Amino acid sequence: MKKAWWKEAVVYQIYPRSYMDSNGDGVGDIPGIISKLDYIKSLGVDIIWLCPVYESPNDDNGYDISDYRKISEEFGGDPAFDELLEKIHGKGLKLVMDLVVNHSSDEHEWFEESRKSKDSPYRDYYFWKPGKDNGPPNNWTSFFSGSTWEYDSRTDEYFLHLFTKKQPDLNWENPKVRQEIYDVVDYWFKRGIDGFRMDVISLISKQLEFEDASNPENYEETIKTRYANGPRIHEFLQEMNKEVLSKYDIMTVGEGPGIDLDNALFYVDDSRDELNMVFHFDHMFIDNGPGGKYDPIEMNFIRFKEVFSQWDERLKGKGWGSIFLGNHDFSRMVSRFGSDSEFRVESSKMLAMLLLSMRGTVYVYQGDEIGMTNVAFPQITDYNDVETLNSWKEAEERGEDMNAFMKLVHKQSRDNARTPMQWDSSQNAGFSSGTPWIKVNPNYEEINVADQEPDSDSILNFYRKMIAFRKNNPCLVYGDYQDLAPQHPSLFAFRRWDEDSESLVLLNFSSTELMADINLDFDKFEIAISNMDEGADPKLLLPWQGILLKRIN
Ligand code: ISL
Ligand code: CA
């Protein structure tokens, strides 16, 4: 496997609104991040991925950009950004930004011009269509509820928006649009950033027939058959690579629904010169029913493990994977895959062990390093996320039992991951001296950085230990992967090895003890890391215990 800095990296994802507020306006900002750079460096991570900080009306918290070259004043503006980048580099870290170019904000000047008239030179920057039978051009529904088409009376046509109506989709068919985007990308590389995470890149090429979805209420099917992986997607990515990406030593990771085992290599096969990595959602959508996130089904643990095996098998030797268990779009990793009550500490550490011993580039989401959990706000008015609020409205219109729906919100809302970072036990968890834009999780008095710093047994210090261990054991980065107990209902046991070394990882995904009955010569291994006081028998795993063993050389 060819080596590269971005393959060996551990990435720390920051959701800037919720990280650290420096000026008391309740909104996290860039000076706030600067004040925490020593903390970030102390984790042992290599790269910061910063969610969007560009100028934006914030209909979708920055994923609706109105100026691609400007840092939002709310976050501190361009001078603060320049200082951040310089300090990040000064610490030997790198910075990856978000590139959101499937859509812009409706307040971007391109769209403001586009909507003025059918003859506007910007008309073709977006998708405009006449209606059909007094309604929208087709039956597509947006990721965030309702039709993907919004009527604009000025020109008596509809425009396409796969997300909110303030996020009109850019028309990549238009070469001028593509050139504008490549110029933006080039602008940021010239400014010195080290890569891009490309938002919903799987959606940029549209099926121009705009054919009705056959089962519009089936979310996954519609994504796969209508929205994602359009006919020119790879042509566009290869063009972007040739025009700009290939000219810099940077990293790219594409995000997007509809990226699956069958098509991933088209994006990341080394020989195709498109992207370095993609995020897939096979494990993240594992508890989604046909209606999506607000139609949950039970998590299938055997399938969960299978996802890791299948992806490793598919990419090995050809492309490179990305490993993550949470981000700003999903509920908290410990609440989903671990146990956020009695065994919160144990299971947070165990999940850290999983993350940091898989093959691929590892992404740690802010707050997971201290075991932050989901939140259960009592009122829908406590929520901010547009996806949550729209789903709520739809459920209300359908006449659903709203108490039951509230439970779903508690479980699934993206705001679970967006409550402020919990720094200490002072007011607002030390996040802000003002009123935070979204409430702090009330458990901040128990779960916060300040308490965990001095405690050598804390989740935080366990992350540091695991990250350092991974750095010292390249076998965990590049080595081969094998699941040792794929059918076991609660044990995740796998092997990582290369020419020089071998590690075993045993993880108990349950609240009861278990015997890891696997056919291996345990005498040849010694315990390197455990998330609990090391027991005498590595095969006997306590609830949520994780053990990493290394072959004795
Ligand atoms: O969040 C999801 C499910 O609840 C995903 O389907 C998500 O909408 C999808 O992966 C795209 O996410 C990205 O683009 C969105 C933005 O809202 C997300 O925050 C971003 O990560 C639109 O730009
Ligand atoms: Ca602020």
First to last CA, the chain: 23
Going from the Cα of 523 to the center of ligand 2, the distance in angstroms, rounded, reads 55
Q: Is residue 64 part of a domain?
A: yes
Going from the Cα of 504 to the center of ligand 1, the distance in angstroms, rounded, reads 34
CA distances from 444 to 53, 338, 416 (A): 26, 19, 14
Going from the Cα of 29 to the center of ligand 2, the distance in angstroms, rounded, reads 5
When divided into structural domains, the chain yields a total of 3
Q: Which two tokens stand for residue 219?
A: 């979310």
Please check whether residues 464 and 362 belong to one and the same domain. yes
Q: Is residue 69 part of a domain?
A: yes
Q: Is the pTM of this model over 0.95?
A: yes
Q: Is 100 in the pocket of ligand 1 (CB under 6 A)?
A: yes
Nearest CA to ligand 1 atom 16: 63
Please check whether residues 75 and 137 belong to one and the same domain. no
Q: Is 60 in the pocket of ligand 1 (CB under 6 A)?
A: yes
Question: Per residue in 29-43, pLDDT tens?
Answer: 999 999 999 999 999
Please check whether residues 69 and 119 belong to one and the same domain. no
Q: Whose atoms come closest to the Cα of 432: which ligand?
A: 2
Query: How sure is the predictor about 82, in pLDDT bands with cuts at 50, 70 and 90?
Result: very high
Helix, strand, or coil here: 371? coil
Please check whether residues 52 and 93 belong to one and the same domain. yes
The residues annotated with a catalytic role in the active site are 199, 255
Please check whether residues 341 and 468 belong to one and the same domain. yes
Q: Tell me, what CATH number does 39's domain have?
A: 3.20.20.80
Going from the Cα of 236 to the center of ligand 1, the distance in angstroms, rounded, reads 21
Q: Tell me, what CATH number does 504's domain have?
A: 2.60.40.1180
418 and 15 in contact (C-beta within 8 Å)? Answer: yes
Q: Is residue 233 part of a domain?
A: no
Please check whether residues 347 and 432 belong to one and the same domain. yes
Please check whether residues 136 and 43 belong to one and the same domain. no
| DSSP character at residue 224 | I
**Torsion sign over Cα 108, 109, 110, 113:** positive
Please check whether residues 467 and 486 belong to one and the same domain. no
Neighbours of ion ligand 2 (CB under 5 A): 21, 23, 25, 27, 29
Q: Is the pLDDT of residue 147 over 90?
A: yes
Pairing verdict, β 502-508 and 525-530:
unpaired
Please check whether residues 22 and 136 belong to one and the same domain. no
pLDDT at 534: 67
Question: Per residue in 156-175, pLDDT tens?
Answer: 999 999 999 999 999 999 99
Please check whether residues 354 and 441 belong to one and the same domain. yes
Nearest CA to ligand 1 atom 6: 257
pLDDT at 536: 67
Question: Per residue in 499-538, pLDDT tens?
Answer: 999 999 999 999 999 999 898 899 999 999 999 986 668 8
Nearest CA to ligand 1 atom 22: 63
Q: Domain span at residue 131?
A: 109-160
Nearest CA to ligand 1 atom 19: 329
The residue among 428, 448, 472 that closes a domain is 472
**Torsion sign over Cα 264, 364, 307, 538:** positive
Q: Is the pLDDT of residue 217 over 90?
A: no
Closest atom of ligand 1 relative to the 327 alpha carbon: 21
Question: Per residue in 260-306, pLDDT tens?
Answer: 999 999 999 999 999 999 999 999 999 999 888 899 999 999 999 99
Please check whether residues 441 and 494 belong to one and the same domain. no
Q: Residues of 182-216 as b/e, b for ≥16 C-beta within 10 angstroms?
A: bebbeebbeeebbbbbbbbbbbbbbeeebeebeee
Please check whether residues 31 and 131 belong to one and the same domain. no
Which residue among 14, 61, 63, 197 has the greatest number of ligand 1 atoms within 8 angstroms of its CB, and so is best to mutate?
63
Distance CA(553)–CA(544), nearest Å, equals 28
Q: Is 170 in the pocket of ligand 1 (CB under 6 A)?
A: no
Nearest CA to ligand 1 atom 7: 329
Q: Is residue 211 part of a domain?
A: no
Q: Whose atoms come closest to the Cα of 99: which ligand?
A: 1
**Long-range Cβ pairs for the range 465-471 (8 Å, 24+):** 465/529, 466/352, 466/353, 466/355, 466/356, 466/357, 466/529, 467/10, 467/43, 467/44, 467/45, 467/356, 468/44, 469/356, 469/528, 469/529, 469/548, 470/10, 470/356, 470/357, 470/362, 471/8, 471/44
